[in-house]
Structures are given as C-alpha cells and as structure tokens.
Structure 1
Amino acid sequence: MISIIAAIDRNLGIGFQNKLLFWLPNDLKRLKALTTGNTIIMGRKTFESLPKGALPNRRNVVLSSNPAIQCPGAEVFPTLEAALQSCQPEEQVYIMGGASVYKQAMPLADMLCLTEIDAEAPQVDAYFPAVESAIWHEKSRESHLVDEKHPCPYAFVDYIRK
C-alpha cells in the first residue's frame, strides 16, 4: 500500500526554505508511529532537511537524479517509479515529500495521512496538491486543540481513494 504523509496548513502549505511550517510534537510522534518498520520515500531536499539524517528503524529511500549523491543510511533511486519497483507488493510505503514528490505520488497513492493545521503560515514556498473530493474520501478525523506544546489547532485526517 502506498500512503502519503504530510502536514498542511489551511492553504495546503507544507514548507518554507526546506523547513516545516509548524513544529507540532504530536505530528512528529504520529509520523514515527506510522512509518517505523516501513519504507519511507522522499526527495533529496527533504532528506537533507532531516536534522539527524536517515530516520531510524525504517527503510529510507531518497529520490535524486544525481547518481553520485551520498545519502548515508538511505538507498537512492533516480525516479519514484524506480523506487516503488524496489518495494515488495505487500510493503507499506509512505511518501513524505517534498512538493514535487507529492505531486508525482498523488495518482499512485491509496491513502493520505494528513495533519491538517488550522492556521496559515506567514511564509510558504512549497505546497501540497489539492485533495479532490471526487477522488478522496475522509476515513477518519482526530481533532486537537491548542495546548502548551501546540500553538494552533490541528487534526489528523486520513483519506482513502474512492
């Protein structure tokens, strides 16, 4: 199964200058809970934005057109298609960005695991593709209010392909 995992603001913003728009500890915990033991696929810039490099206890796959690129702890493939072909049919795969990888993966995904942040980031230079209601059905929603660690309301929302 191919799932896309992302945190998006009200305007589908996902990042600015290769950084997350909001620091939400529960979103990061959810990412860890969902992806541990599975395969994660990301673009080179997303990989480079990870503070400690490859994420532990999961297969890290990086997409790059540069065959000489070094991504310690990760496998490198030139295209999303090549990366997906390296996965077993029963393997759970999570696509985790960035914007161009999300756009390529949307037609292939079975599920979207989104953190929908009820706020607008002041600066955004990367966006998530539109979630079209004709294609995606909301399967579950878990809403969270502002607290001492989370400066804005957010919801964990899972969509499945219709």
Structure 2
Amino acid sequence: MLIAIWAQDNQALIGKNNRLPWHLPNDLQYFKTTTINHTLVMGRKTFEGMGGRPLPKRQTIVLTHDQKYQAENVLVLHSVAEVLDYSKKHDQITFIAGGSAIYQAFLPYCDKIYRTYINETFEGDAYFPTIDWKQWNLVDSQQGPKNEKNPYDYYYEKYTKKKAN
C-alpha cells in the first residue's frame, strides 16, 4: 500500500531550500509515529535536506536518476517501477515523503493521503503538485493542538482514493 504523507501551508507550499519552511514539532512527532517501522520513499534532495541519513526504524528508499549515487544504510533506486516492485514484494506500507517531483510521480499509485494542512502562508520554493481532490474522500480530520511551540492552526487529514466506477 502506498500512502503519500506531507505537510503544506494554505498555498500548497511544502519546502524551502530542501527543508520545511516552518517549525511544527507536533507534526514532526506525527510523521515519526505514523511512519515508524515502515518504508519511506524520497528523492535525493529531500534525503540530503534531512541530513543525508536515514530516519531510525524506517527503511529509507532514495529515488534518484544518478546511477552512481550511494548513501549509507539506504536503498537507492532509480525508477518509479523499481519502487512499485519493491513495495509489492515487501507487502507493507510504503510512505511517499517528497519532494514535489516524487509526489507527482507516485500520486497516481497512492491508495491514501495523510496531509497536515497548516492554515498559514510561508515563503518557499517547493509546492505540492496540483491534485484532483474529486478523486479523494476525506475520512478523518483532527485539529492539532496549538501552543507556544506549535503556534499555527493545523489539521491532520486522512484521505482514501475513491473507487473507479
């Protein structure tokens, strides 16, 4: 099962200089709790923006066109087909974790979406690709707690793909 997971502002912004444009510790904890013991797929720039090391207790797949790219303790793959094949063979949840081009490539194959919607506007340079929300059902939405460390209004949303007629 493929699940896209991301946080965005109200303009679909997801990144700035290969990093998050906001600091929202509760969302980082949500990401950790949700993805732990599962597989994460991300592009090289996203991986390097996170420090170039895999997150603990998660199989990390770095997708890159660079055939010579290597990184310690990650699986480097070079095509969408390779990732889809890996996901089918391992019969587990595979989270698509960015950046923009990776989301664009995998969204047609995703069964679910986990989106953190931050009701603020930030500055950045990476946006989530245009999505046809008519293809998705919102099945859960919970407002995250706002406090001094998490100063924005934000919502954890879960969607499932509508069945084709």
Interval containing the TM-score (normalised by the shorter chain): over 0.9
* Residue in structure 2 matched with residue 19 of structure 1 by the alignment: 19
* Residue in structure 1 matched with residue 106 of structure 2 by the alignment: 105
Distance 2:144 2:95 in 1: 23
Q: CA RMSD in A?
A: 1.3
Q: More deviation in 1-10 or 136-145?
A: 136-145
Letter of the structure 1 residue corresponding to residue 105 of structure 2: Q
- Note the alpha carbon deviations across 1:61-118, whole angstroms, 9 max, x for none: 0001112112111110111221221222621100000000001111110001010000
Letter of the structure 1 residue corresponding to residue 39 of structure 2: T
Letter of the structure 1 residue corresponding to residue 71 of structure 2: C
* Residue in structure 2 matched with residue 49 of structure 1 by the alignment: 49
- Structure 2: segments with no counterpart, 5+ residues: none
The normalised TM-score by structure 1 is 0.94
Whether the 8 Å CA contact 2:52–2:71 is kept in 1: the answer is no
* Residue in structure 2 matched with residue 65 of structure 1 by the alignment: 65
Query: How many pairs align?
Result: 161
Identity %: 32
**Which has more helix, going by share of residues?**
2
- Pairing 1:7-156 to 2, within 5 Å after superposition: 7-51=7-51, 53-87=53-87, 88=89, 90-121=91-122, 123-156=123-156
Shift of 1:132: 2.3
3-state SS in 1 of match to 2:56: coil
Distance 1:67 1:26 in 2: 36
Letter of the structure 2 residue corresponding to residue 100 of structure 1: A
Distance 1:47 1:78 in 2: 14
The normalised TM-score by structure 2 is 0.93
Distance 1:34 1:80 in 2: 23
